[in-house]
Structure formats: structure tokens, C-alpha cells
Amino acid sequence: MKNIKDYNIEELKQEFVELGEKPYRAEQVFKWIYQDNVTSFDEMTNLSLDLREKLKQNYSLCIYKILRKQVASDGTMKYLFDVLDGNAIETVLMKYHHGYSLCVSSQIGCKMGCKFCASTGIAFIRNLTSGEIVEELLAVQRDENIKISNVVFMGIGEPLDNYDNVVNAIRIMNNQKGINIGARHISISTSGLVPNIYKLADENIQCTLSISLHATTDEKRSKMMPVNNRYNIEELIKACKDYINKTNRRISFEYALAKDNNDNLEDAKGLVKLLKGMICHVNLIPINKIENGEFDKSSNENILKFRDYLNDHGIVATVRRELGSDIDAACGQLRRKNLG
């Protein structure tokens, strides 16, 4: 059965026309789904019984079941959802002073193979559909009875490797008649799939782009991230400059600091040189060591020195607060768990 949440408003209107219904009915349904967050077609009381029946026969509402919910000491919550085909995905809810931020997964598993990430070493299963991504947000809003204000595509998966579904999910989340999260409050994080960075720049969506850079020489970056063998740093930075020129948006560079690997003064100098003149921000992440991982967390002292060097040399850098580490919900700790 088709998932009704896979359609953006224009596509849903088209579906309704094909069902012999008026397009404005699609808007009513859109509102029920994304503003009222209903869990059944029966609750859509301004539709005729006939239409409700027709919708039930043709579409599912894709309502996730919570398999597990863990709450960290800092209030961060990690959800394990049953995506209704026997697979499970993780989503993390974080509370900041400016509101709730949701870290969503875009794929079941990941193909990128970054050496420091817990998603590596687990088989890639499939892409999530747009509706499945959007339901991560709706399921959390229902469960906690809250309104989420920011979404980051930093859970499991490489969003730009599931390009069409991720872009469509953003269009759905962004729609003013629905969830209505401003595109500027949505971030896509990528390990650096260069062709799709160019594509995204032409999409005319004002979302924030985060680049997982993590190193400033190809030798080091390739050791951490195999994707660098396909698209090296020079090509990546060129694509970022194009993105900034076309969108006028500031790029955020993620840099996970690993002890004696990429956290010394030489690396900081390299980073300043690489990013000089770009409208950007550097997010320093103390690396989270994964089981049997070869990378260890940098010392606090090194992290602060690294940050200060960047700030002193014209690159705005902050250290990301670690949330949810006691429930394995911090960066790079998410992994697909087997059911049962």
C-alpha cells in the first residue's frame, strides 16, 4: 500500500485528482496529517465517509511503533522505531534553550564506511522514503506532545546518497500548511558526495549544509573516510564554494577531533588555510570512540587549543556540546539494532 506521507502537497493534489477528488481535499488531508498529526483516516472528520474509506483502501498513514525509548541524564531521548517492514531506525530528540532539535536517519544502514562511525560495519539495507523520514518527526511530536523546531540529517545514513527522498522530505517538513519548519532550521550533513552538493545548490531550498570534513590532507581524510578516494578535498571545497556563491548560505564544517590524528597545531593551520575567505562555521566534535575503533577522543586541552587557534585566525569555531552520550545517542553512536 502507498504511504500517504511520501507525497508533497503538489503530488498529493495530483493523487487526489487521479482518485476523482477535488485538489482542496488534499489540502485538508495534509493539514490533518501534518498539523493535527492524526493516526487514522477516521479522525479526518471534515471528509465524507466515502472518501475516508477510499483513502483507507489506497493509502497507509505509516504510523511508527516505538520499540524502545531511552532518556539520557541531560534529557536527550533516543527512539528506536519499527519502520513496519521488520527493520528498525534510530532518531534522537535534543532539547536546547531555543527549542527542540531532532536528529533523523535517512537510510537503514550506510554505505560510506567512515572509520570512526558506529554505522560502519553494518550492512546497508535500503533508503528510507520521504514519508518514513517525515514520520520520524511526527512520531516524536506525538509521543512527547511537542513541536520540533529544528531538524538535522545527522542520524544513520548519508542523506545525499538518498537525494530525492531527502529533498522531498524537506519540502514536506517545510510546507507552511503542514509541519512548517523553515528551511533554515533544517540541516543536511554530508560526508561529501560532490555531484549532489552541486545539485542541492540548484534546488532553491534554503537549508543549511554541513560538510563532514574531519581532516585537511587527502592522506588523512582518506584514512578516516573512504569517500575521499572518490571526491578529494580540492573537489569538495570547490563544490562548497559553488554552494555558498549560489545560495549565499554559510556552510558548517564538521571536524571530529581524534587524539594524535587530526588535532594538532599543523592540522589547525591546514584548516585555516583551506577555509580562508569562505562564509563558514566550524563545528568541532570531540570524537566518540566506537567499539574496537582506532580513533580516541582528543584531550579537552587540545580541543580548546584547536578552537582558539581557529578563532584567532578568522575562522568561527565552536565545540559541539555532547548530548546523550550515556545512552549512545551522541554523534556517530547510532546504529541499526536488530529487532527482537
**Is residue 267 a contact point for ligand SAH (CB under 6 A)?**
no
* 331 is an active site residue: yes
**Is residue 127 a contact point for ligand SAH (CB under 6 A)?**
no
**Is residue 275 a contact point for ligand SAH (CB under 6 A)?**
no
For residues 106 and 174, which CB has a smaller minimum distance to ligand SAH in the complex?
Answer: 106
- State the residue number with the nearest CB to ligand SAH: 332
* β-pair partners for 208: 187
Q: Supply the minimum distance, in Å, between the C-beta of residue 234 and ligand SAH.
A: 19
Question: How many amino acids of this chain bind ligand SAH (CB under 6 A)?
Answer: 18
Q: Supply the minimum distance, in Å, between the C-beta of residue 197 and ligand SAH.
A: 12
* Sequence letter at residue 248: N
**Is residue 158 a contact point for ligand SAH (CB under 6 A)?**
yes
Q: Supply the minimum distance, in Å, between the C-beta of residue 47 and ligand SAH.
A: 38
Stretch binding ligand SAH (CB under 6 A), from 3-11, 32-40, 186-194, 263-271: 186-194
Q: How far is CA 304 from the centre of its chain?
A: 27
Stretch binding ligand SAH (CB under 6 A), from 22-30, 57-65, 70-78, 189-197: 189-197
Question: Number of helices and strands (H, E) in the chain?
Answer: 10, 14
Q: Supply the minimum distance, in Å, between the C-beta of residue 157 and ligand SAH.
A: 6
Q: According to the 3-state scheme, what is the secondary structure of the chain?
A: CEEHHHCCHHHHHHHHHHCCCCHHHHHHHHHHHHCCCCCCHHHCCCCCHHHHHHHHHHEECCCCEEEEEEECCCCCEEEEEECCCCCEEEEEEEEECCEEEEECCCEECCCCCCCCCCCCCCCCCEECCHHHHHHHHHHHHHHHCCCEEEEEECCCCCHHHHHHHHHHHHHHHHCCCCCCCCHHHEEEEECCCHHHHHHHHCCCCCCEEEEECCCCCHHHHHHHCHHHHCCCHHHHHHHHHHHHHHHCCCEEEEEEEECCCCCCHHHHHHHHHHHCCCCEEEEEEECCCCCCCCCCECCHHHHHHHHHHHHHCCCCEEECCCCCHHHCCCCCCCCCCCCC
* 62 is an active site residue: no
For residues 44 and 114, which CB has a smaller minimum distance to ligand SAH in the complex?
Answer: 114
For residues 51 and 196, which CB has a smaller minimum distance to ligand SAH in the complex?
Answer: 196
For residues 33 and 129, which CB has a smaller minimum distance to ligand SAH in the complex?
Answer: 129
For residues 12 and 191, which CB has a smaller minimum distance to ligand SAH in the complex?
Answer: 191
Angle (CA) 238-191-99 rounded to 5° is 105
Q: Supply the minimum distance, in Å, between the C-beta of residue 288 and ligand SAH.
A: 4
**Is residue 104 a contact point for ligand SAH (CB under 6 A)?**
no
Q: Which of 90, 132, 136, 158 is catalytic?
A: 90
Of 290, 303, 310, 323, which lies in the binding site for ligand SAH, with binding defined by CB under 6 A? 290
**Is residue 208 a contact point for ligand SAH (CB under 6 A)?**
no
**Is residue 254 a contact point for ligand SAH (CB under 6 A)?**
yes
Task: Just list the catalytic residues.
Answer: 90, 331
The contact set with ligand SAH (CB under 6 A) reads 112, 114, 116-117, 154, 158, 189-191, 212, 254, 256, 285, 287-288, 290, 331-332
